Amino acid sequence: MEDLTITGALWDYMRRVTLREPPILQRLREETASHPQATMQISPDQGQFMALLIHLLGARRTLEIGVFTGYSSLAVALALPEDGRIIACDVHEEWTSVARRYWREAGVEKKIDLRLRPALETLDALIAAGEGGRFDFAFIDADKGNYANYFERALVLVRAGGLIAIDNVLWYGRVIDPAVTDADTLAIRAFNENLHGDERVWLSMLPVRDGLTLACKKHV
C-alpha cells in the first residue's frame, strides 16, 4: 500500500475536524506571522500534539530548548497541571519578551522559568545540580549545529520513560538533497543518522510540519 499524500486541502480538513487552538494561542500565532523569522514558529497542530503528549506522560517537569515567541512553551504550559514547571532556554531578550507577555496574559507565567543564556550552560548547570532523571519531557528547537549536544544533555535530564521531542528533523526537505551542504543541513543529517542507531531510546520520526522526532528514554 502506498503512503497517503497529504495535500493542502487534506491538511485543511484535518485541522478543521481536530484542531482546538485556544484563542490566546491563535493570537500569538497571528502576531508572530509578521515576524521576519516567522517560520521558526511551530504549527498549531504540532502545539496541540505536544499538549497531548504532556497529558499522556502525566508530565510535571519539562525542558524547552529554544523559545522564540513562546508558542510551544505556552501550549505545553497550558497542558501542565498547576504545579507543573518548564525550564525554558533561549538567548533572545527581544523575541522572548513577546512570549512573556502571552504567558502572563494566559496566567501561566509562574510555570515557566526562562533562562536567558546559552542553553548548554543551563543544561550543564542542571546536571551539575543533580537534576538528572527529574524531567518528564524535553523539546529541542534551537540552533541545529548543537542538536547532538542538546540531545545528550536532555537524555541525562529526562527520566526513564521520559520523552524528548526534536523539531525540524526534515529541514524543509533539504535532508534528502545531496546538493545542499550548508552547516545546518549537515548537522541535522548527521543527527538523524546517529539517532537511528541509538539503542538508549525508542524512536519514531513523524512528518508533522517540518518533521518531529520522538525519542523515549529506555529503562536501564
Q: 155: exposed, middle or buried (C-beta count within 10 Å: 0-12, 13-18, 19+)? A: middle
- pLDDT at residue 98 in the model: 98
Domain ranges of the chain: 8-217
Residue by residue, pLDDT tens for the chain (220 residues) are 678 888 989 989 999 999 999 999 999 999 999 999 999 999 999 999 999 999 999 999 999 999 999 999 999 999 999 999 999 999 999 999 999 999 999 999 999 999 999 999 999 999 999 999 999 999 999 999 999 999 999 999 999 999 999 999 999 999 999 999 999 999 999 999 999 999 999 999 999 889 999 999 999 7
Distance CA 31, CA 157 (A): 33
In the DSSP assignment, the letter for residue 21 is -
Query: Cell 523575541 appears where?
Result: 95
Contact between residue 147 and residue 187 where contact means Cβ atoms under 8 Å apart: yes
Report the alpha-carbon distance of residue 220 to residue 218 in Å, rounded: 6
Q: At 188, list the grid cell.
A: 541535522
- Contact present, 155 and 203 (Cβ < 8 Å): no
Asked if 73 and 67 count as a contact pair (C-beta separation under 8 A), the reply is yes
Distance CA 179, CA 175 (A): 10
Cβ neighbours for 33, distance < 8 A, ≥ 6 positions apart: 41
Q: Where are the beta strands (DSSP E) in the chain?
A: 61-65, 85-90, 112-116, 135-140, 158-167, 201-206, 212-217
pLDDT (0 to 100) of residue 220: 75
Q: Is the pTM of this model over 0.85?
A: yes
Rg (CA), the chain: 17
- At 122 the three-state DSSP class reads helix
> What is the structure's pLDDT at 62?
98
At the second CATH level, the architecture of 8-217 is 3-Layer(aba) Sandwich (3.40)
Question: In the prediction, which pLDDT does 1 show?
Answer: 63
Task: Give residue for cell 499524500.
Answer: 5
Q: How far apart are CA 73 and CA 75, in angstroms?
A: 5
Place of cell 522559568: 113
Q: Which of 204, 57, 207 is nearest to 215 (CA)?
A: 204
